[in-house]
Chain A
């Protein structure tokens, strides 16, 4: 069974940093492209960042470019999101999401981890 388990969320002050992790199991992690998607309280879904299976290609949403860094460790079956210079508008549930092999979509999602940016 495919499992994605996020961790690392919490309360942080504006300007602070946080590192999210996503532990993958039940599939060959190194074969899959991965993403972070977030959802502000009561709002819709917003794609945040993408990383290719090897880590060689990375993309960011303009809203986080220069502040967030996506990375992965295929030996540890883990995906990461380093978040710096956090702002109130970064408050959201952050999901890791797997790209499907069969089509252009996210076929598996973690349960999410809540990041709250407030003083």
Chain B
């Protein structure tokens, strides 16, 4: 069964350092998402790609976060410099339209758990 791949699974970094996460969506999924999930909360959308284009990055803290999906396949999310408040699970998802259309079924990867010390 096809899955969304993410790496690393765990990352510990010191504040002010740079950190990067990688995601490989399910083959053929044009839409890719990066979410941040703080413990005890639901996923919060950071950025959404359609192929290589950003369609929503309104919640991405652009002073320190960047995301790219250069060839419309895999994607990288970067944080520089990392802050203590960035400690969270970073989830990548890709999607297909719901059978009915109009919205999407999202397939999530296992996430990268980031701890900033």
Do A and B come from the same complex?
Answer: no
- Interface residues of chain B, those whose CB is within 8 Å of chain A, are none
